[in-house]
Amino acid sequence: MAKIVLRRVTKSFGQKVAVDDLNLEVEDGEFVIVVGPSGCGKTTTLRMIAGFETPNMGTLHIGGTVMNHVPPKDRNLAMVFQNYALFPHMSVERNLSFGLRIRHTSKKEINTQVHEIAEMLDIRPLLDRKPAQLSGGERQRVALGRALLRKPQAFLLDEPLSNLDAALRTQMRFELKRIHAQFPVTTVYVTHDQVEAMTMADRIVLMNHGELQQVAPPETLYAEPVNVFAAGFIGSPKINLVSARIDHSGGGSALRCLATAIPVTTEIADQLRSAQSQTVTIGIRPEDILPQSPMDDAPGRAVISGTVEVIEPLGAETHIAVRVGDDILTCRTPPRSGLEMGSTVNLSFDIEQATIFDGTSGLRLC
């Protein structure tokens, strides 16, 4: 096992900067998930750790050693590829044992280890088959087995579940967590699926346009996003982002948005004074907006009125989209809310539970 450290790492392809001045430390035995939209530089980061790409600037340390120019074969890492990359001309057994055979491990040792791992991943009956004779889930487990077998310094996983169907993906998420608990090897996992990131990671590394946005445990990233991008990327359904104007006139301060003025506490008002302009973005998670009957009293909560546009019943909960002026707010409500499309509904939320971002820089103010 090893600690992975990237210090001021930059990688460009021609004029295009894929990874820009990245600083990242992955602790020994930690499960880190790099997440971000397509083209954010997450796969390039993983490929630099693997040794398939060389950083233009900065240093990469694995286990305390600078690895910038060490070829992949000498890094003692294991990788699971998005497209499996199982060798089609070899049986499952030979695919699993490839790394051990390269290292001239004894046949007896190979046999023992292959059967142990096959047992653990439930692929023992498949050992004599070729990859073409396996289902997608079986291939993915063989690819995992090949990575696990060598007991490497670190695991690198490049969107390993993206080719699986939804049910199998959920099952494999459990499997991966179980395997990591059993073999707590340093793991860097790349995905664009924030559900995978939220459910599996010890820490999430969020990237956009080649730049690091935030590194934090999933709960922190969800509750305390550092900027509008982080708030918008993490969470399903997405956070509601509403543009508001700061109004310090009169006795107190208020945020003017959603056709109303929401009074804020002096503490929030003080933090709003550091905003670069008079415009801010309010982020409200769907579960923090509650629909209520027009008669209900909501002391200390902002109340706004809107029209129900879409209702999405999901069984355990229902998502409703409510139009308030030019904005559409999504609320997560209990099932059988009794609301109907086109009906008027009052929504209430606590401004202190909301996250407020600077309208110009997008950074979190409070």
Partner 1 sequence: MSADQLVTTEREVTAPAVVRKRRSLARPVLNVFMIVIGLVFLLPLLWLILASFNPSADGTLAMPHPFSLLNYHLVIRAGAGAAIRNSLYLAGVSTVIATAVSTMAGFMLARRKIRFKGLVLVLILFLTGLPITLLLIPTYQIFVHLNWLNSRFYTSLVLASMSVPFSIWLLKNFIGQVPGEFEEAAAIEGASEISILFRIVIPLIIPGILVAAILTFINSWGSFLIPLVLDANPSDTPGAVGIYQFMSANGQVQFGQLAAYSVLFSVPVIILYLISSRWLSGGFSFAGGVKG
Give the residues lining the site for partner 1 (CB under 8 A): 50-52, 71-79, 81-89, 98-99, 102-103, 130-134, 136, 139, 146, 150, 156, 163
Structure tokens at 272: 């709003």
Least Å distance, CB 62 to partner 1, is 13
Q: Which is nearer to partner 1, 79 or 331 (CB)?
A: 79
Asked whether the beta carbons of 294 and 306 are under 8 A apart, the reply is: no
- Other C-beta atoms within 10 Å of 351: how many? 21
Q: Which is nearer to partner 1, 152 or 306 (CB)?
A: 152
Least Å distance, CB 48 to partner 1, is 13
Comparing C-alpha atoms, which of 178, 147, 235 is closest to residue 31?
178
CA distance linking residue 185 with residue 218, whole number of Å: 19
* Look-up of token digits 């971000």: 36
- Give one word for 359, left, alpha or beta, with left for phi > 0 and alpha for psi -120 to 50: alpha
Structure tokens at 160: 């390993």
First to last CA, the chain: 39
DSSP at 202: S
- Residue 207 CB-density burial (10 A; 0-12 exposed, 13-18 middle, 19+ buried): buried
Q: Which is nearer to partner 1, 85 or 241 (CB)?
A: 85
- Residue 40 CB-density burial (10 A; 0-12 exposed, 13-18 middle, 19+ buried): buried
Q: Which is nearer to partner 1, 88 or 335 (CB)?
A: 88
Asked whether the beta carbons of 51 and 123 are under 8 A apart, the reply is: no
Least Å distance, CB 24 to partner 1, is 20
Asked whether the beta carbons of 341 and 355 are under 8 A apart, the reply is: no
Q: Which is nearer to partner 1, 10 or 82 (CB)?
A: 82
Least Å distance, CB 136 to partner 1, is 7
Least Å distance, CB 147 to partner 1, is 9
Least Å distance, CB 104 to partner 1, is 10
Least Å distance, CB 161 to partner 1, is 12
CA dihedral 134, 192, 60, 58 (to 10 degrees): 140
Least Å distance, CB 78 to partner 1, is 7
Q: Which is nearer to partner 1, 78 or 226 (CB)?
A: 78
Q: Which is nearer to partner 1, 92 or 324 (CB)?
A: 92
Question: Which residues share a beta bridge with 138?
Answer: none
Least Å distance, CB 15 to partner 1, is 18
Q: Which is nearer to partner 1, 86 or 226 (CB)?
A: 86
Q: What angle do CA 330, 332, 335 make, to 5 degrees?
A: 130
CA distance linking residue 195 with residue 10, whole number of Å: 28
Q: Which is nearer to partner 1, 50 or 230 (CB)?
A: 50
